């Protein structure tokens, strides 16, 4: 079954890679995916633009006093930031969030019926004083050196007495990215959309970085978690089974991969002269394909090393698995692969319908499961037997589709969705899984940047954010 765990676009490196997702559940707009097996981590893409930086940019250069968001059960909220630059290398952000939906409901449900304007204003002000309407975040960013950035964040919410804190250090090597992170508590999201709070989480991550379309790379990381994970505001998925990879313990991960990209066709038609494309990275019509193959290995120490014959989805475990129960440790290794296809028409220069883009990606997160299913399926066909349903299901990859169409000027519409294939469901064996709809506004004066308003109906989440080209 396909699970689109990331609310990041296909072209931005989403899919089954373990990258942070965007979510309105937290003030900083981020949550981490529950690590999957065998953890095929993607190559590092550097630090993302923080939520306070996004708000600062929209307030200064886009005349947007607030950025809206929506999530259940909180409802519709508005965010604004106040920046305090203490020096060229140090800035402090005070991020505030106001729950507009809760405020309106409070006013409507009020039993007070003021007769005069002064009384109405007094009642109105009394509702605004309710602490439950507000959430505050304090964020401090230090530019230690041109290659080192240190971030501290502390968020306070009305629904919990425990603030959410984090510290992150980014270091940029010539060909590597290093990230050190500690969060208390850490927010994680699993495959079916449940959010989990881990009391304390710490990670060290080193990844090779490259801008080449055809290259080899690796990714090394260590992750430590302590405390008992607790479910965080699950409203549509009532499965309270804690994912094994979130249990207390120490995890070491390593991934090695090779990637190759080719252009099947590229337009030779010249672009319009003296007309800048709305996005320079979406200005070349072409048809291209890329493939990736790699190996991933994970070592667990602690309670997270416990593993039965089936994984968290109830399916048979895949890959090479070794376990030493005496010292609470285990080892898992497997192959993985990915194939993607991209087709684009238009230069994104003209005012109307000058960009049509389609992208499809097939992910094979477990090479051993694929080979086992393919072998079983081949034997059934050679012996003129009916193919085993589980073997057929095992060879199906995780599919993700993306469609983008310019509407007018810098505005385009986009939809990304996973494709779920469940052969046991005879009535609807193929379904769209967790579609994400978005309207993008290209900030063409910056070359490649966009304001995105996206909505995920299944998770009942809506958010407006900025996305800059990440290297």
Is the confidence at residue 235, as pLDDT, over 90?
no
The whole-number pLDDT of residue 157 equals 81
- For 157, phi and psi rounded to 5 degrees? -125, 155
The whole-number pLDDT of residue 341 equals 94
Which of 302-311, 389-398, 453-462 has the least mean pLDDT?
Answer: 302-311
- pLDDT over 70 percentage in the chain: 85
For the CA atoms of 239, 244, 250, 256, the dihedral, rounded to the nearest 10 degrees, stands at -110
Report how far residue 362's alpha carbon sits from residue 338's, in angstroms, rounded to the nearest whole number: 6
The residue ranking higher by pLDDT, 269 or 113, is: 269
Report the predicted TM-score, pTM, of the whole model to 2 decimal places.
0.86
- Residues 180-213: tens digit of each pLDDT: 999 999 998 887 778 899 999 999 988 887 767 7
The whole-number pLDDT of residue 18 equals 58
- Residues 382-440: tens digit of each pLDDT: 888 888 888 888 888 888 899 999 999 999 999 988 888 888 777 788 888 888 999 99
Q: Which residues, in sequence order, are bridge partners of residue 170?
A: 149, 179
Could you give the angle at the alpha carbon of 30 between the alpha carbons of 24 and 34, nearest 5°? 110
Report how far residue 36's alpha carbon sits from residue 40's, in angstroms, rounded to the nearest whole number: 8
Report how far residue 216's alpha carbon sits from residue 69's, in angstroms, rounded to the nearest whole number: 39
Report how far residue 80's alpha carbon sits from residue 156's, in angstroms, rounded to the nearest whole number: 15
Total count of residues recorded for the chain: 471
Query: Between the CA of residue 469 and those of 45, 81, 363, 392, 449, what are the distances in Å?
Result: 10, 23, 24, 39, 6
Is the confidence at residue 168, as pLDDT, over 50?
yes
Q: Is 373 exposed, middle or buried (0-12, 13-18, 19+ CB in 10 A)?
A: buried
What's the pLDDT band for 20 if we cut at 50, 70, 90?
confident
Which of 123, 105, 103, 107 has the alpha carbon at shortest distance from 115? 123
The whole-number pLDDT of residue 9 equals 34
Report how far residue 135's alpha carbon sits from residue 140's, in angstroms, rounded to the nearest whole number: 17
- Residues 118-150: tens digit of each pLDDT: 666 676 777 788 888 899 999 999 999 999 999
* Plot region of 61 (φ>0 → left; ψ -120 to 50 → alpha; else → beta): alpha
Average pLDDT over residues 316-339: 83
Average pLDDT over residues 19-41: 76
For the chain, count helices (H), then strands (E).
5, 24
């Amino acid at each position: 079954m396909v699970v689109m765990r990331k609310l990041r676009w296909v072209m931005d490196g989403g899919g089954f890679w373990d990258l942070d997702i965007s979510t309105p559940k937290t003030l900083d707009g981020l949550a981490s995916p529950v690590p999957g097996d065998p953890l095929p981590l993607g190559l590092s893409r550097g630090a993302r633009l923080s939520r306070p930086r996004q708000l600062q940019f929209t307030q200064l250069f886009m005349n947007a006093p607030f950025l809206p968001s929506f999530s259940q059960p909180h409802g519709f909220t508005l965010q604004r930031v106040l920046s305090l630059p203490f020096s060229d290398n140090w800035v402090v952000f005070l991020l505030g969030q106001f729950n507009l939906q809760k405020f309106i409901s409070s006013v409507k449900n009020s039993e007070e019926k003021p007769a005069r304007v002064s009384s109405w204003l007094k009642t109105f002000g009394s509702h605004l004083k309710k602490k439950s309407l507000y959430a505050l975040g304090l964020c401090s960013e230090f530019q230690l050196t041109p290659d080192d950035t240190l971030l501290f964040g502390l968020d306070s919410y009305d629904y919990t007495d425990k603030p959410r804190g984090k510290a992150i250090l980014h270091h940029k090597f010539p060909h590597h990215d290093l990230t050190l992170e500690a969060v208390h508590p850490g927010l994680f999201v699993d495959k079916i959309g449940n959010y989990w709070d881990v009391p304390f989480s710490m990670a060290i991550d080193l990844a090779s970085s490259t801008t080449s379309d055809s290259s080899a790379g690796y990714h090394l990381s260590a992750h430590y978690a302590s405390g008992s994970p607790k479910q965080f505001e699950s409203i549509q998925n009532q499965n309270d089974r804690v994912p094994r990879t979130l249990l207390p313990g120490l995890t070491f991960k390593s991934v090695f991969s090779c990637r190759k990209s080719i252009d099947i066709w590229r337009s030779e038609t010249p672009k319009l002269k003296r007309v800048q494309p709305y996005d320079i990275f979406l200005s070349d019509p072409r048809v291209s394909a890329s493939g990736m193959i790699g190996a991933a290995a994970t070592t667990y120490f602690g309670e997270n090393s416990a593993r039965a014959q089936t994984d968290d989805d109830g399916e048979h475990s895949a890959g090479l698995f070794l376990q030493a129960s005496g010292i609470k440790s285990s080892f898992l290794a497997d192959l993985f692969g990915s194939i993607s296809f991209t087709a684009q028409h238009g230069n994104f220069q003209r005012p109307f319908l000058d960009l049509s883009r389609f992208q499809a990606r097939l992910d094979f997160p477990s090479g051993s499961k694929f080979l086992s299913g393919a072998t079983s399926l081949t034997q059934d066909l050679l012996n003129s037997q009916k193919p085993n349903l589980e073997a057929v299901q095992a060879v199906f990859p995780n599919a993700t589709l993306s469609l983008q169409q310019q509407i007018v000027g810098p505005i385009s519409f986009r939809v990304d969705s996973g494709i779920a294939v469940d052969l046991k469901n005879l009535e609807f064996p193929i379904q769209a899984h967790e579609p994400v709809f978005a309207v993008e506004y290209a900030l063409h004066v910056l070359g490649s940047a966009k304001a995105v308003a996206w909505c995920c109906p299944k998770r009942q989440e809506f958010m407006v954010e900025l996305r800059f080209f990440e290297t």
